[in-house]
Amino acid sequence: MKTKRFIALVMGMTMAVSGLAACGNNGGDSSDNGGSTDAGEGKSEFKTADQIDKESLKGKTITLYTHGGNRVLGEEKKDADGNTYRDESYAYLKHLAEKFEGEYGIHVDLQVNSTEDDIRPLLQTQDPSIDIYTSPNWSIEEWQQYAEPYCTVSEAKELYGDYAETMYNDGTYIYALMPAKTYNNAVVYNEETIKKVGYDSIPTTQAEFEEMCAKLREAGIDPIAMHRIENWPLSTINDFANYVAGSNDAYPSMLKSDTPFSESEPMGKTIKMYTDWKSKGFFEADIYTDFGVAMDSVGNGNAAMMLFGAWVVPQIQGRVPEGGDPASIKFAPAPDFGNGQYVMASAADSYAISKGSDDKEAARLFIEYISEDAQYLADSGYIAMKKGVDPIVPDLYKIIDDAVAAGTCKVLYAYATDDNSMHNEEVLSEAGLLEDVKYVGNLFDVIDVTKEPDWAAYDAQVEKQNKAYVEAREVLGYSWQ
């Protein structure tokens, strides 16, 4: 379940780059939208915020369901005694909704759900009590069933550029607007912790990075907190495989190979690299009972780094104990694994209008309002990207931005969902390797850190997975297109 949640989140943040346009709401029954668009003639079937009659919407209440509880309830923090509390100053979505109500007289009722399954029955019955929701990990069929088309892909491209391609879409319509962009999985670290072993930044080469990890381990600090007790953290390896390959298609490119899990291929090489780090003790020695505890460990200095996306940075900053400096939690590019330094970028945050909503125009107006509030998006850890909106770049991106500006780190835009990526997923599923990120976990778990690493057993598992993958690909009849 958490794998799904994480993939949903990553999709939200991981769908690739650029600007926006007539993405407004048609206000009427979207099922009448058909598949055609007049966008090419400059005439849209969807209303823009300017075209919506705001006076008629005054006094209405719309309901937004989000899995991002921290933006509604506030960031989880620890007080001087170490007790947990919610700091409401971080409840950015709540504050934004209040501001929106002040301006338009439309109340936004914010509800927090833990998973998309919590809201599925309401969407299945087209219950009007849900107007907007965020980030479910759905197939395109489900999006078509539950979400109002937001605008056409071509309209979104006008306003959000190439990033529009990677928003949830069926080739014609966008089903969830993703109004911001972000950098994806990289190195989140505690600067104060790495200083203890003589570093003030993340090394730029793999050898130096591993040397730093070894020094941290020697100093009794967990170099990297992964939270392996759950499966979803392993899926971050997909981005790192792109950094290893120096391209954005390491995952779908598995289709090209008969030996995708061998060290000769980016995915296989990356999984081997992670597993090797495991054998060297670079990951946590203890089991974290919860991802929050894993984040705490970086916040309090028991661990030095996490290999995750920008979204964890504000959460770890909130977990720095009293007296510590939250600004010591930083975000840097992954080291050069042989092909240069890279960082993945994608569209981020997502908002969809429920098909059952009775107030689609008000819902659209609020989503448009979000897309134009650069401060809200920056506070959330994202960068506004709508055409005409001045972006505010959160401080956490500074190191990466500087590296990109200096040309030492290149940006890879997330791979847009296409036949290759979907077919690869189907092949992995057919081979029994998709669920719970087994294509990584089965290999990663071969090595037992309490014993001498058994690399022969690892190689045998590689062979087994390669065979299963090729057989499944043949059964399905897929090949790289």
Partner 1 sequence: MSNETKLYKTVRYIFLICASIFVFVPLVPLIFMAFKTGAEYSATSVLEPPKNWLNMYNFSYAMRVGHLGKAFLYTAVILTISLAIQVTFTAMVAYILHRFDFMGKTVVKVMFTLTMFIPVVATQTLIFRMMYAVGLINTMWSVIILYSGVGIVGIYVMLNQLDSISREIDEAAMIDGAGYFYTFAKIIFPLMKPACTTMIIINGIGLYNDFYIPNLYLNRDVQTFTVALYKFYGSMSTPFEIVAAAIIIGMIPIMIVFIFLQKYIYNGLAGSVKM
Residues that bind partner 1 (CB under 8 A): 2, 5-6, 9, 67-70, 76, 78, 81-86, 111-115, 118-119, 121-122, 124-125, 127, 129, 289-293, 295-297, 300, 302, 315, 321
Collapsing DSSP to helix, strand or coil, 297 comes out as helix
Cα separation, 10 vs 14, in Å, equals 5
In order of 28, 33, 119, 133, the CA distances from 128 in angstroms are 14, 19, 12, 12
Nearest Cα to Cα of residue 64 among 137, 144, 132: 132
Dihedral (C-alpha) 330, 333, 337, 341: value to the nearest 10 degrees? -160
Q: C-beta of 448: minimal distance to partner 1 in Å?
A: 21
Within 10 Å of residue 124's Cβ, how many Cβ atoms?
A: 11
65: tokens are 């369901």
Nearer CB in complex with partner 1: 10/255? 10
Nearer CB in complex with partner 1: 149/301? 301
The pair phi, psi for residue 234, each rounded to 5°, is -65, -25
Nearer CB in complex with partner 1: 354/442? 354
Q: C-beta of 78: minimal distance to partner 1 in Å?
A: 5
Can you spell out the DSSP letters for 76-112? EEE-TTS-EEEEGGG-HHHHHHHHHHHHH--EEEEEE
Nearer CB in complex with partner 1: 129/259? 129
Nearer CB in complex with partner 1: 86/215? 86
Collapsing DSSP to helix, strand or coil, 183 comes out as strand
Nearer CB in complex with partner 1: 34/85? 85
Q: C-beta of 321: minimal distance to partner 1 in Å?
A: 6
Q: C-beta of 404: minimal distance to partner 1 in Å?
A: 27
Nearest Cα to Cα of residue 301 among 228, 227, 229, 222: 222
Q: C-beta of 69: minimal distance to partner 1 in Å?
A: 5
Nearer CB in complex with partner 1: 308/478? 308
Q: C-beta of 82: minimal distance to partner 1 in Å?
A: 3
Nearer CB in complex with partner 1: 113/262? 113
For 459, counting Cβ atoms within 10 Å of its Cβ (0-12 exposed, 13-18 middle, 19+ buried), the class is middle
219: tokens are 């100093």
Nearest Cα to Cα of residue 15 among 122, 123, 124, 143: 143
Q: C-beta of 311: minimal distance to partner 1 in Å?
A: 9
Dihedral (C-alpha) 199, 204, 208, 214: value to the nearest 10 degrees? 60
Q: C-beta of 141: minimal distance to partner 1 in Å?
A: 18
Cα separation, 235 vs 3, in Å, equals 8
Q: C-beta of 451: minimal distance to partner 1 in Å?
A: 23
Nearer CB in complex with partner 1: 293/476? 293
